Amino acid sequence: MFLLAFAEESIQLFPDGTLFIHIALILIMIWVLNRTFFRPINRVIESREKHKGGAGGEAETILKDVAEKQGRYNKSMLEARSEGYQVIEKLRAEAIAERQTKIATAKEETAQALADEKKQLQDQTNEAKAAIAHEAEEMADKIAANILRI
């Protein structure tokens, strides 16, 4: 209760002469802070900007140099990759050609071996037919001789 009574006495709804005093104190405080705090800080910041080179100083030249070197690096990497892909493609083409040559050689060898085997088989067949014909004649002669003896 006591606090409510105290609060009611201190709240002023209408501005009086103290408002001008408060405004004057705020303006004096801004002037003092500007003289003692903000101007020295702004001077320090400006001197740092001047010493580090500012907007068009050494940092920008370094950044430009880095960007140029990075561009050259990227270009050389692209060229190296292209050359690598060309070498890989060349080796792949050579490997395919070598494979085709080996396949063709194997097919020729297989065809030759097959032809040789067919020839041997034909020769054996002819020899077997000749041997059978000869044996058939001998048997025919024996059968005829046996028939004639009876």
User: For residue range 76-114, what is the model confidence (pLDDT) as tens digits?
Assistant: 999 999 999 999 999 999 999 999 999 999 999 999 999
Using CA atoms, how far apart are residues 93 and 86, in angstroms rounded to an integer?
10
Higher pLDDT, 80 or 145: 80
Domain-embedded: residue 43: yes
Measured in residues, the chain has a length of 150
Residue with tokens 């002023």: 12
Domain that holds residue 46: 15-53
Domain-embedded: residue 28: yes
For the chain, counts of helices (H) and of strands (E): 4, 0
Average of pLDDT values for 30-36? 91
Q: How many domains does the chain have?
A: 1
